[in-house]
Amino acid sequence: MKRFSIPPVLGLLALFAFVLWDAHGWVGQTFPGFLSFENGLSGRFFLPSWKGPAVFSFQDYLGVVVLPAATGLLFAAAGAGLAAFIGRAGRPLFFFHLLVGTYLVLSPDFHLAHRFSHAELLAFVFLPAALLHFALAFPERTEGAVRVAVAPYVASAVLAVPYLLFFKGRPSWWSVVEVVVVAYLAGAYLFWVTRLASMLKRPQREADRLLARFLLRGQWVAFTLPFLAGVAVFAARIPIPLNLAASVILLFPAAVFAGGLMARLYESQMRLVASERMASLGMMMAGLAHELKNPLNFVVANLDALKEKATGSEVQEIVADIEEGAERMRMILEDFRFFAGPERKGRAPVDLNEVVRHAANLLRPRCEGRVSLALLLNEIPKVSGDASALGQAALNLIVNAIESISGEGEVAVTTGKRDGKVFLSVRDTGSGILPENLRRIFDPFFTTKPQRQGTGLGLALTERIIREHGGLIEVKSEVGKGAEFLVTLPSR
């Protein structure tokens, strides 16, 4: 449970105890078959067994007071736990749960004692703002989303003025404002549902897509029934006992928790599968390089004898071409062995320029003649680390740069030293990165590629490698003008 959520939950617990204690005094009194507001309008908290004036029994107390109030307290406590569990959008999610919880805890008092009428109304009028805030902040909490989320709170504050002022003084006007508030809540709900559905197609982490899918499924039962009941009561004036429908809303945090749990299990499974695949691929590459090296050495060893016996310029040119091709094969195998080498538990001096050269040699064929791969390798001190891991990081950055260019373009790889540290810059002239994706590109399984065309692990693995070497990786990008990844590592 987050620290910011503890005081409100404790305060709501005290309010819950007070409401239950205060409402218990109404047991045994006669009620006309419904409960009314302080302004005289009929309420919607009742039991189907009421058929006119009846004695408010202890069973009525349990159904009309304890059930909705306990549901509200549990809903708020669940929101505090979810805020800590899902991480992203934790504050608006908790605030939404707190408002719903407060509304339900105070609802019996709103009909019986009328002590906290204004607090009840405020909780209700700010519900759509909290729902919109959560919809805008989940799953990525960008600065743009935070700025846009201010508008719903302003709208709720504007509606709150007549909503509170007209409650006692002008009940008929208040009823009109209440319809507007309910319509605002309905619009916020529909926006949230639409946004959840759009997340299933937008580029993002597969875990977020899975969580959105669970939210979308779970909320149909968790919110649709109470929501339709609320619309029927407040807009159509259909007498539905809201106190009996309130407990269904607890399915919402249950759906969020189930989705978050499944998302985490999925991420753990994918990390394990990716780790096993990388280990198997490394072993296969190392074995393949070893097996090919022996016959290649046999070919190279016999080239000298062939050159001595070759006569004629044409034959000598053919032998020279064979020798050049064999040398290129030898260099490629060395590059494969460099990246497939086992991870070293200890650290050793690493020449970052050599690491970049190996990566560039492997990736030049991938440029396909359309991408110019330029190396500007300056004299730099060695760094302490694992050459194979750093090579994998450089490889991932260059691959990412090449794939960002759809047509012709350039990838520039630069090394140098600055402020006593070594840096590696990989700059491309590709399409750039959208601002909303900049903060998420290092998240595991986040990818802008279509499904099944990218794992979203390359940059996440690179960031982890750089961090484990005591370094820092930063990215700068402008849409349409490419991107630059800057890696800074401490020198030996």
Q: Which helix (H) or strand (E) holds 244?
A: helix 242-245
Q: Which of 145, 12, 9, 151 is nearest to 83 (CA)?
A: 9
DSSP string for 140-181? ---HHHHHHTHHHHHHHHHHHHHHHHHHHH-HHHHHHHHHHH
Residue 415: predicted pLDDT: 93
Residue 203: predicted pLDDT: 54
| DSSP letter (8 states) at residue 236 | S
How far apart CA 485 and CA 463 sit, in angstroms, is 11
DSSP string for 47-66? -TT--SSEE--HHHHIIIII
Alpha helices in 368-482, H assignment, sequence order = 387-403, 435-438, 458-468
202 Cβ contact list (under 8 Å, min separation 6): none
Residue 34: predicted pLDDT: 61
DSSP string for 85-119? HH-TTHHHHHHHHHHHHHHHHHHHHHHHT-SSHHH
Residue 452: predicted pLDDT: 45
Residue 393 · residue 400 · CB < 8 Å: no
Domains present along the chain, CATH in parentheses: 3-272 (1.20.1070), 346-492 (3.30.565.10)
- C-alpha separations of 208 from 30, 52, 253, 437 in Å: 53, 51, 16, 14
How far apart CA 68 and CA 64 sit, in angstroms, is 7
Residue 99: predicted pLDDT: 93
Q: How far separated are the first and last CA of the chain, in Å rounded? A: 42
Residue 128: predicted pLDDT: 93
Main-chain phi, psi angles of 139, to 5 degrees: -90, -15
Residue 143: predicted pLDDT: 44
Q: Which helix (H) or strand (E) holds 375?
A: strand 371-377
Residue 426 · residue 401 · CB < 8 Å: yes
How far apart CA 96 and CA 153 sit, in angstroms, is 12
**How are beta strands 371-377 and 409-418 bridged, if at all?**
parallel
Residue with token string 């159509």: 236
Q: Which of 146, 65, 147, 151 is nearest to 108 (CA)?
A: 65
* 290-314 residue pLDDT tens: 667 667 776 777 777 777 776 667 7
Residue 468: predicted pLDDT: 85
Look up residue 351 and give its amino acid.
D
pTM (2 d.p.): 0.60
* 454-472 residue pLDDT tens: 555 678 778 888 888 889 9
148 Cβ contact list (under 8 Å, min separation 6): 136
pLDDT along the chain (492 residues), means of 10: 78 92 85 66 67 78 90 91 75 89 90 84 93 78 56 93 89 88 89 81 64 71 65 67 76 78 72 60 60 70 72 73 72 60 64 88 80 91 86 87 87 91 92 79 66 59 85 89 91 78
- Both tokens assigned to 392: 């994998």
Residue 126: predicted pLDDT: 95
Q: Long-range contact list for 256-259, CB < 8 A, 24+ apart?
A: 256/82, 256/86, 256/93, 256/211, 256/214, 256/215, 256/218, 257/78, 257/81, 257/82, 257/85, 258/214, 258/218, 259/210, 259/211, 259/212, 259/213, 259/214, 259/215, 259/218
Rg (CA), the chain: 33
